[in-house]
């Protein structure tokens, strides 16, 4: 940890168990606060309601054939996750450190015998737990509705979707915390987070689409460029996990499936991990260098 | 502790206990001999050839259980029947059975292990004469399965044909007909082959077969008046591919999950006077692919009462496809319901006729007079679909919010709204209900497991919430700074 340049603010002897204990204490505080906030309730409800609507509509439209498209339901849920989860995670991360700093909480906490990294990790873990709760409540409710509507589906797909949604939430939370570590005011941090959300959800995809049409990008270039967007990585990884092929995504998806096959899991995993680790490390570096005020 | 003291009593005990048991086992094997033959013992070479040579026309040759490794040539009209598990083993090279006389019946054998030479077309059963009946056989590990060459009026029934685990380019055809008119193909199961292919054979009936994990489940080449009913073709590259044929009837087939770079449920290439009725076409890359069909204007291409659901593309029309009429079909949640490849138009095809249109799951109108027909014309004009048709690479952005953004823009701004791809003046409000024969291999999961995983997820979420309430209070409540932060975000 000291290799990251984050030194204890108070020169006390520290052992690993106490590091863990401090981190977990902060995490629990963060989780409690997150769960009690109006935002958590609002996002959880919005996510659950949208997901349930998608499940309900796709379950009822099977046209008497007795067949139901769980693939299509998954796609609908993927769509909701892509829209809601990044917004949730980015704003939660962005508000965390900046609002503490604004209220002077940060200097208070840093005056305690804890490392700044412990504070950062504690906040991260606490918020991540709250996001996990929100996601599993929403998607769990969807699974119950689908089962009740008699959709015969592999339960692994919904578990897979939940897991990857959580991975996406972790990545976006990490970006949010970096924004938070950089911003001086909470309002600025949240505004920036929403801007980043817009870029990831809409702008980058639209730009890439325009690029495909205007610059005649080759499909392999298109696929590799799309890997840079964590939302696309999440989407492709989910589909790859559920269907074991990306051919539903047209020529670029076919190219990816045929060129990389099972290695896609590793590729998607590496890109997702990078989105979790890199922004969080940068946030840690920022936090250790800056004054808490 | 000398080894001798231990060994002697042990050996005694083993002999006393296992001896009688072993005898009993041997006796039971002897008694049950006809039912459970010793299949590993190879039969005397040439025994089948001698029995066929000794038989007269019309004789029934019963073959006992055993493994026969000889090449068999049936050159007189006899019935060859397996009694028990009779295995004809090709030993991994060449062909196995060749039928050169008309009216031969081959029934009940396990035929396995041909060579893998594609140039020689190593075949399990090759028929070179009319009126053959090949039934109840199990073909395993074969390159070509049943090959009918100029064998009209034959019957291929209840066989199971399993190809070798080879790369698709090195596989042979599970079933092939060549100039074999009036042949009946029914209740066969074919898997891991290349095609089941019908060449230059008229009046063929194909019914109740099941083909999976092949290249083409069924492939017609220049074959007229073929009826294809109640088959299932799943997880092939193409379910049914009709090429250069005429007067073909497809009814009540199930085409499920046929995928891959050129994956279609039904492909129609320069086929004429065809009708496609009551087929269930689900989860294919493209449900139906139409290229230059119908080939002439003698009769419109008929698509009636089919269900096309959850395909990436419901029906793909190439610009050469004209003169098709679609009525009473269900188009349910295909990502792209109808696509026109390239920049052609669908004007030469009709999506309604008289009072009958189709059911479109994306129809947004209503039915005030409750006659089952929507009060507004169904027009397909979504901007993203239009873009995908022109630029297939954009499918990469499917399911992303950017796709919805584009569709929203397309709806909101008339200036960028594409021309209607096609219109249905009398869209149906409810899907047409069709009775289907039950299929193979559906419902890989169950609702119950889904319910359990849903409850587990809810429990996980609830558990985290509960732990936030209990754990945090007594450990952090003491911190004076731990005040709630509600409403401060944003």
Which pLDDT tens digit goes with each residue over B238-266? Answer: 999 999 999 999 999 999 999 888 899 99
- A6 in a structural domain: no
Give me the residue label for tokens 């990490």. Answer: A174
Mean pLDDT (chain B, rounded): 85
Q: What is the pLDDT of residue A156?
A: 80
Q: Is the pLDDT of residue B408 over 80?
A: yes
Residues 183-212 of B with CB under 8 A from A: none
Count Cβ neighbours within 10 Å for each residue of B245-278 and write b for 16 or more, e otherwise. Answer: bbbbbbbbbbbbbbbbeebbbbbbbbbbbbbbbb
ipTM: 0.86
- A163 in a structural domain: yes
- A5 in a structural domain: no
Residue B468 sits at the chain A interface (C-beta within 8 Å): yes
Give me the residue label for tokens 């090959």. Answer: B147
List CB contacts (< 8 A) between B469 and chain A: 32, 35
Q: Is the pLDDT of residue B92 over 70?
A: yes
Q: Is the pLDDT of residue B478 over 80?
A: no
CA nearest to B476 within chain A = A29
Q: What is the pLDDT of residue B24?
A: 44
CA nearest to B470 within chain A = A32
Give me the residue label for tokens 């199990």. Answer: B138
Which pLDDT tens digit goes with each residue over B297-329? Answer: 999 999 999 999 889 899 999 999 999 999 999
List residues bridging with B309 in a β-sheet. Answer: B282, B332
- Cβ–Cβ below 8 Å for A247 and B332: no
The answer for residues whose C-beta is within 8 angstroms of residue A276's C-beta and 6 or more apart is: A167, A170, A171, A174
> Would you place residue B486 in the very low, low, confident or very high pLDDT band (cuts 50, 70, 90)?
very low
**Contact assessment for residue B110 and residue B87, using Cβ atoms and an 8 Å cutoff:** yes
Q: What whole-number distance in Å separates Cα of residue B52 and Cα of residue B59?
A: 9
> Would you place residue B268 in the very low, low, confident or very high pLDDT band (cuts 50, 70, 90)?
very high
- Cβ–Cβ below 8 Å for B307 and A63: yes
List CB contacts (< 8 A) between A119 and chain B: none
- Cβ–Cβ below 8 Å for A219 and B393: yes
Which pLDDT tens digit goes with each residue over A228-257? Answer: 999 999 999 998 988 778 888 888 998 999
List CB contacts (< 8 A) between A34 and chain B: 468
- A3 in a structural domain: no
Which pLDDT tens digit goes with each residue over B131-145? Answer: 999 999 999 999 999
Count Cβ neighbours within 10 Å for each residue of B358-388 and write b for 16 or more, e otherwise. Answer: bbbbebeeebeeeeebbeeebbbebbbbbbb
Q: What whole-number distance in Å separates Cα of residue A262 and Cα of residue A250?
A: 18
- A1 in a structural domain: no
Three-state SS string over B333-365 comes to CCCEEEEECCCCCCCCCECCECCECCEECCCCC
Residue B479 sits at the chain A interface (C-beta within 8 Å): yes
Q: What is the pLDDT of residue B179?
A: 97
Backbone angles phi, psi at B124, to 5 degrees: -75, -50
- A8 in a structural domain: no
> Would you place residue B420 in the very low, low, confident or very high pLDDT band (cuts 50, 70, 90)?
confident
List CB contacts (< 8 A) between B359 and chain A: 63
* Dihedral angle, C-alpha B202, B208, B213, B219, nearest 10 °: 10
| Sign of the alpha-carbon dihedral angle for B278, B284, B286, B289 | negative
Q: What is the pLDDT of residue B410?
A: 85
Give the end-to-end CA distance of chain A in Å, rounded to a whole number.
Answer: 23
- Regarding predicted confidence, which is higher, B304 or B44? B304
Residues of chain A with pLDDT under 50: 1-11, 63-66
Which pLDDT tens digit goes with each residue over B313-370? Answer: 999 999 999 999 999 999 988 888 999 887 778 889 999 998 899 999 888 888 888 8
Q: What is the rounded average pLDDT of the residues B27-53? A: 61
Q: What is the pLDDT of residue B333?
A: 84
List CB contacts (< 8 A) between A212 and chain B: 391, 393-394
Which pLDDT tens digit goes with each residue over B185-216? Answer: 999 999 999 999 999 999 999 999 999 999 99
- A9 in a structural domain: no
- Cβ–Cβ below 8 Å for B457 and A162: yes
Min Cα–Cα distance to chain B from A251, Å: 5
Which pLDDT tens digit goes with each residue over A41-88? Answer: 899 999 999 989 888 777 665 544 445 555 667 778 898 999 999 999
Q: What is the pLDDT of residue B418?
A: 82
Q: What whole-number distance in Å separates Cα of residue B393 and Cα of residue A218?
A: 9
CA nearest to A70 within chain B = B310
- Regarding predicted confidence, which is higher, B299 or B418? B299
The CA radius of gyration of chain B, in Å to the nearest whole number, is 31
Domain ranges of chain B: 48-424
Q: Is the pLDDT of residue B81 over 60?
A: yes
Q: Is the pLDDT of residue B11 over 70?
A: no
- Report the CATH superfamily, name and number, of domain B48-424: Single-stranded right-handed beta-helix, Pectin lyase-like (2.160.20.10)
Mark out the alpha helices in B62-140 (DSSP H runs): none
User: In terms of residue numbers, what domain contains A79?
Assistant: 14-289
């Amino acid at each position: 940890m000291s290799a990251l340049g984050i030194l204890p603010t108070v020169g006390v002897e520290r052992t690993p168990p106490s590091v863990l204990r401090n981190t977990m204490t902060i995490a629990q505080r963060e989780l409690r606060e997150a769960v009690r906030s109006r935002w958590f309730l609002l996002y959880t409800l919005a996510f659950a309601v949208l997901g349930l609507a998608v499940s309900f509509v796709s379950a009822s439209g099977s046209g008497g054939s007795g067949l139901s498209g769980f693939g299509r339901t998954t796609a609908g849920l993927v769509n909701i996750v892509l829209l809601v989860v990044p917004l949730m995670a980015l704003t939660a991360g962005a508000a965390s450190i900046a609002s503490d700093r604004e209220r002077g909480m940060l200097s208070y906490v840093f005056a305690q015998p804890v490392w700044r990294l412990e504070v950062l990790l504690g906040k991260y873990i606490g918020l991540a737990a709250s996001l996990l709760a929100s996601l599993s409540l929403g998607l769990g409710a969807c699974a119950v509705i689908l089962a009740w509507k008699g959709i015969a589906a592999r339960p692994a797909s919904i578990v897979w979707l939940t897991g990857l949604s959580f991975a996406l939430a972790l990545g976006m939370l990490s970006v949010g915390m970096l924004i938070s570590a950089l911003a001086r005011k909470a309002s600025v941090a949240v505004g920036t987070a929403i801007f980043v959300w817009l870029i990831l959800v809409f702008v980058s995809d639209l730009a890439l689409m325009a690029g495909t049409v205007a610059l005649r990008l080759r499909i392999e270039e298109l696929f590799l460029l799309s890997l840079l967007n964590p939302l696309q990585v999440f989407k492709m990884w989910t589909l790859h996990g559920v269907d074991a092929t990306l051919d539903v995504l047209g020529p670029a998806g076919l190219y990816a499936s045929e060129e990389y096959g099972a290695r896609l899991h590793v590729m998607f995993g590496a890109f997702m991990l990078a989105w979790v680790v890199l922004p969080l490390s940068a946030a840690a570096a920022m936090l250790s260098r800056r004054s808490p005020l | 502790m000398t080894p001798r003291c231990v060994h002697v009593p042990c050996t005694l005990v083993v002999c006393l206990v296992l001896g009688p048991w072993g005898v009993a086992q041997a006796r039971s094997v002897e008694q049950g001999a006809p039912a459970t033959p010793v299949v590993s013992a190879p039969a005397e070479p040439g025994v089948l050839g001698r029995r066929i040579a000794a038989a007269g026309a019309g004789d029934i040759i019963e073959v006992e259980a055993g493994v026969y490794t000889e090449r068999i040539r049936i050159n007189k009209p006899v019935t060859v029947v397996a009694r028990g598990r009779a295995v004809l083993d090709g030993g991994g090279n060449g062909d196995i059975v060749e039928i050169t006389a008309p009216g031969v019946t081959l029934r009940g054998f396990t035929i396995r292990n041909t060579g893998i030479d594609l140039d020689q077309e190593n075949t399990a059963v090759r028929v070179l004469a009319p009126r053959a009946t090949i039934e109840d056989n199990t073909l395993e590990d074969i390159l070509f399965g049943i090959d009918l060459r100029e064998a009209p009026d034959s019957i291929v029934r209840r066989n199971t044909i399993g190809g070798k685990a080879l790369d698709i380019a090195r596989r042979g055809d599970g079933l092939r007909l060549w100039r074999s008119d009036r042949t009946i193909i029914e209740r066969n199961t074919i898997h891991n082959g290349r095609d089941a292919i019908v060449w230059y054979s008229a009046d063929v009936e194909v019914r109740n077969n099941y083909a999976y994990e092949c290249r083409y489940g069924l492939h017609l080449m220049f074959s007229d008046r073929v009826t294809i009913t109640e088959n299932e073709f799943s997880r092939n590259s193409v379910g049914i591919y009709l090429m250069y044929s005429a007067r073909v009837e497809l009814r009540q087939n199930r085409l499920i999950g046929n995928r891959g770079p050129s994956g279609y449920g039904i492909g129609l290439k320069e086929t004429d006077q065809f009708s496609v009725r009551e087929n269930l076409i689900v989860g294919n890359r493209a449900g139906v692919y139409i290229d230059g069909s119908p080939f002439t204007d003698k009769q419109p291409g008929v698509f009636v009462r089919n269900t096309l659901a959850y395909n990436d593309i419901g029906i793909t029309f190439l610009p050469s496809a004209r003169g098709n009429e679609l009525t009473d079909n269900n188009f349910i949640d295909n990502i792209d319901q109808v696509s026109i490849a390239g920049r052609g138009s669908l004007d030469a095809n009709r999506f309604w006729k008289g009072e009958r249109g189709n059911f479109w799951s994306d129809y947004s109108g209503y039915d005030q007079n409750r006659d089952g027909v929507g009060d507004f014309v169904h027009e397909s004009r979504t901007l993203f679909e239009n873009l995908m048709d022109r630029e297939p690479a954009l499918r990469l952005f499917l399911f992303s919010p950017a796709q919805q953004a584009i569709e929203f823009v397309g709806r909101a701004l008339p200036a960028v709204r594409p021309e209607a791809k096609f219109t249905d003046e009398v869209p149906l409000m409810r899907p047409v209900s069709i009775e289907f024969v039950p299929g193979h291999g559906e419902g890989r999961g169950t609702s119950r497991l889904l319910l359990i995983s849903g409850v587990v997820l809810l429990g996980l979420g609830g558990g985290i919430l509960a732990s936030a309430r209990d754990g945090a209070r007594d450990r952090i409540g003491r911190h004076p700074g731990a005040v709630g932060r509600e409403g401060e975000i944003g």
